Chain A
Amino acid sequence: MKSMRKLNKAGMILSMVIGMIIAACMSPAAGPEVVESDEAAAPAMQETQTTLSIVQERGHLVCIGNAQLPGFGFLDSEGNFSGFDVDYCRAIAAAIFGDADALEVRPASARERFTILSSGEGDVIIRNTTWTMSRDTDLGMNFGPTTFYDGQGLMVRKESGVSTLQDLQGASVCVVTGTTTELNLADQFAAAGVAYEAVVFEDFDQSFNAYDEGRCDAVTTDKSSLVSRQTTLTAPADHVIINVTLSKEPLGPAVRHGDDQWFDLVNWVVYATMLAEEAGITSENIDSFMDSNDPNIGKLLGLEGDFCAKVGLENAGCFADVIRLLGNYAEIYDRNLGPDTVFDLPRGLNSLYTDGGILYAPPIR
């Protein structure tokens, strides 16, 4: 009888412990709820703790980035973060602090990036993140202006003379299996009425090796990856990425729902780089614009109006700082992906609307 009671007691303790563990395990599943209640609390919170005020208090921006994407985010040999996406992180830091290095890049995998942003460990994601509807809604993200219009592309040998989809009639295409890339390929070729033969592989390395060895006429993946992969081929100069886009991949910054001031700030930092290119202002010639009579330039550079105050910044020259430290869109693009880099990636869609692209920043007024 006594041992029975002992057993019961032990059972009770055991079940309590197990109950606690289960509760602990369930909490991750309750994650979205936690986020929601945060949102509900957001208006009350905003009076005291906006993202901007947290960033300013901390003294640096935490930017959720990528450390493994050539041209977009990586560590250079001196250990500094570098790349197109990283430059936009630096641009936001420059606008807030007047110092592009007031920045901590938090490298994150594709899976964890949104969770890190939701949990408040990062302030903004700039990590080749495609703007999609479910991310914009379900995940509680606000997407800023697209900084890089990527899209699935095709690489072929120069000597083949292929330049359009139709030229690929009957060609074999190397592709990674089980990806949206494979589906896009099928859809687009069917729509164009072009017959082709898909040579499928398990991963990128195999796919590009096979293409390099001449086992297929073309290879397909996102254009930004194509350019970086091209440089690893045996004879990079013998290959060309044709001017055909099979899918839409708008990449840009993303912030949390619920802090519109911060969202505006990120938006207008990106727009400012585009507006500067439109106006022909670069990091080198910016000082010659400082006595400009053009009201558009004056507003961008903080010579008239209080447009930086509208995004919560006291420094009236916040956008001027961005241009001075990082340059305009063209400078950022060329520095990381342009003709002087190994990528030599044509601007394409990422040209200003005046140059046949779709970069179109709203006016500062």
Chain B
Amino acid sequence: MTTAADTSLDRSVMPPSERRTLLGWMRRNLFSDLLNSALTVVAAAVVFLVALLLLRWALTTAQWGVIPANFNLIMRGQYPAEEAWRLWLALYLLGGVIGLMWRLISGKFSTAALIVFLIPLALREVPLFSWMTRFHLLVVAGAGAGAFYLGAYLPIQRSVRAAVYVLLGYLVVMLVILRGYSGDAGPMPTVTTILWGGLLLSLLLAFFGITLSFPLGVALALGRQSKLPAIRIISVTYIEFIRGVPLISLLFMGQVMLQLFLPDGFPLVDRVLRALVAIILFSAAYTAENVRGGLQSISRGQYEAAQALGLSTYRTTMHIILPQALRAVIPVLVGQFISLFKDTTLVALVGLFDLLGIARTITANPDWLGTQQEVFVVVALLFWIFSYTMSYASRRIEQRLGVGER
């Protein structure tokens, strides 16, 4: 372990960075010799040509009318229009929760926080949106900023633990808002999960998939390291079994076969829930293996030192081993979470309308035949935005925790 002072010392003796002029950089990197120059020219030509063709398609041939016409479908699937205000309510709360969590975790209004609050404001500039949508986005940003400032006066102690409780509480409230509680009528009529779709369903599946598979995966990784044979064998068997099966077969089992195993007259389990359980079970096995990598990177000395201090196994694991092990595998874990997000598209194959399922049914609408390219480009863009945000966030966290420096 090096101290912070050492790190700054290391920095101070680093060689001075070269002067960065554009021309100098280009000569050094793009035109250093004949072969390199030729490659640069060819690559630039290819990029230019592809960009030109894409741009020409996007500006002339593409029928972008399909996107605004089906925008609600892409965003929330079959979620009834008259209940859509509940989605906004959930988003207001999300803005507030993020603001509050920021206050509880860092307490400072950093640049990153500013960016988070600027996202809803930036989204308002998308020309597609109605003034109603823009108003909602303004409220989301306002709720975030408001919660951040008011959070300072709350009688809650600043801690990550408090932030996690706030988040868990929000999840429950959000599910109640989305699902409704008052049956067929009343202030919040039930919207069955079958009607949840589009981006809403994709994000919910990914979010709950990640948050619920993570603790299960960590438990399995610890179980695999356990000295108790029963726990170890169960963990190993589970991990190896799940990793030997493709996700789509788990989804099919859940959607199609489950009913055959259940006794007659057994109430049908919610189909979205079944898909979610399959995703969680699947992802947990991979998380477990990634976390195991982190656990095995911890040197024996850490365990021995903890024992010498008289810490219990529980405390050693929670306070010494896991924090170091998890920090070491952040990039791998985030990579896996991104792939989980993209894997949620498989639910389209078992009859749920996630983003991809919605895209496929939109292109089957007789009014919009032949618009596959337009719809799938937009879907890809949406996936890219969220995946890139995740990977950007992971890099920020790594920087903050100093992974690779200590």
Contact = CB atoms under 8 A, between A and B. Distances in A.
B259 A119 contact: yes
A335 B261 CA distance: 41
Contact of A119 (B197, B260, B350, B357): B260
Nearest to B232: A10
Interface string B357-389: 110111111110110000000000000000000
A17 B70 CA distance: 50
Given A116-B256, A232-B370, A75 B349 contact: no
B70 A342 contact: no
A68 B375 CA distance: 14
A121 interface: yes
Given A104-B194, A109-B351, A341-B366, A28 B257 contact: yes
B257 A343 contact: no
B233 A13 contact: yes
Nearest to A115: B256
Contacts of A232: 369-370
A190 interface: no
A347 interface: no
Given A67-B361, A70-B369, A74-B361, A119 B256 contact: yes
A93 B77 CA distance: 23
Contact of B229 (A13, A31, A74, A231): A13
Nearest to A17: B237
B237 A70 contact: no
Tell me what chain B mostly uses at the interface: helix, strand, loop, or mixed.
helix
A18 interface: yes
A70 B366 contact: yes
B353 interface: yes
A21 interface: yes
A69 interface: yes
Interface stretch (A76-84, A131-139, A280-288): A76-84
Contacts of A67: 351, 353, 357, 360-361, 364
A21 B369 CA distance: 46
B255 interface: yes
Interface in B62-84: 69-70, 72-73, 77-81
B234 interface: yes
A120 interface: yes
A75 B233 CA distance: 47
Contacts of B364: 67-70, 73-74
A253 interface: no
A257 interface: no
A177 B69 CA distance: 36
Contact of B351 (A49, A69, A106, A119): A106
A79 B366 contact: no
B260 A79 contact: no
Given A70-B364, A109-B349, A232-B370, A79 B73 contact: yes
Interface in A40-84: 45, 49, 67-71, 73-80
A27 interface: yes
B367 A77 contact: yes
B185 interface: no
Contacts of B72: 77, 79
A186 B255 CA distance: 39
User: Which 5 A-B pairs rank lowest in CB-CB distance, beginning with the nearest?
Assistant: A232-B370, A119-B259, A74-B364, A79-B78, A107-B351
Interface of B: 69-70, 72-73, 77-81, 194-195, 197, 229-230, 233-234, 237, 241, 252-253, 255-257, 259-261, 264-265, 268, 349-351, 353, 357-358, 360-367, 369-370
Given A115-B257, A119-B259, A228-B369, 12 more contacts: A49-B264, A70-B364, A77-B367, A78-B81, A79-B73, A79-B78, A79-B80, A104-B194, A109-B350, A119-B260, A342-B366, A342-B369
Interface of A: 6, 9-10, 13-14, 17-18, 21, 27-28, 31, 34-35, 45, 49, 67-71, 73-80, 104, 106-109, 112, 115-116, 118-121, 228, 231-232, 341-343
